[in-house]
Structure 1
Amino acid sequence: MPLVKDDTCTYVVDWVASKLRWKLTADRAALKALHTIAGGCRGARVSFTPAS
């Protein structure tokens, strides 16, 4: 995780977008951490283009 708080939401959004783009999975621990971190990312939106 980034050390700078302002970069945390960007990192999480990019991480989720990459997982979705490539149809990758995440284990329960990763999902729990993402939910916790994303709770502080008000207004963040994840957008992605599926890989072909």
Structure 2
Amino acid sequence: MSVRPALVAVTVRTNRQKADQDPATWMPPAPNATCRYLAEWTATKLRWGLAADRSEVDATNVYAGGPCEKTVVHYIPAP
């Protein structure tokens, strides 16, 4: 089974605005991209066993319990 790429083409401006911020401090400017961004963020964390700090978890939970509650996160654990 292959892993879906997590790269999304964005404008230079959006890429600069995001920089190395996480969901606690940055969300995509296009509302229809929010759930995909959060799902891919979460999948990457889960795939690689990365920690999430309290602010990341809190921000993600706001969307997971609201507009993104029907979004399913798919990931394959890294070998």
TM-score scaled by structure 1?
Answer: 0.92
* Residue identity opposite 1:8 in structure 2: T
Mapped to 1, the partners of 2:69 and 2:53 lie a distance apart of: 24
- Larger Rg computed on CA atoms: 2
Unaligned stretches of 5+ in structure 2?
Answer: 1-26
The equivalent of 1:24 in structure 2 is: 50
Q: Which moved more, 1:3-12 or 1:33-42?
A: 33-42
**Unmatched segments (≥5 aa) in structure 1:** none
Cα deviation, 1:1-52, whole Å, max 9, x if unaligned, reads 2100000000000000000000001011110000012221131000101100
**Aligned residue for 2:72?**
45
Structure 1 CA distance for aligned equivalents of residues 34 and 44 of structure 2:
15
Relative contact order (alpha carbons < 8 A, sep ≥ 6): 1 or 2 greater?
1
* Runs (4+) off by over 6 Å: none
State the distance in 1 between where 2:30 and 2:40 align.
16
Contact 2:40 2:73 in 1 (8 A): yes
Number of paired residues? 52
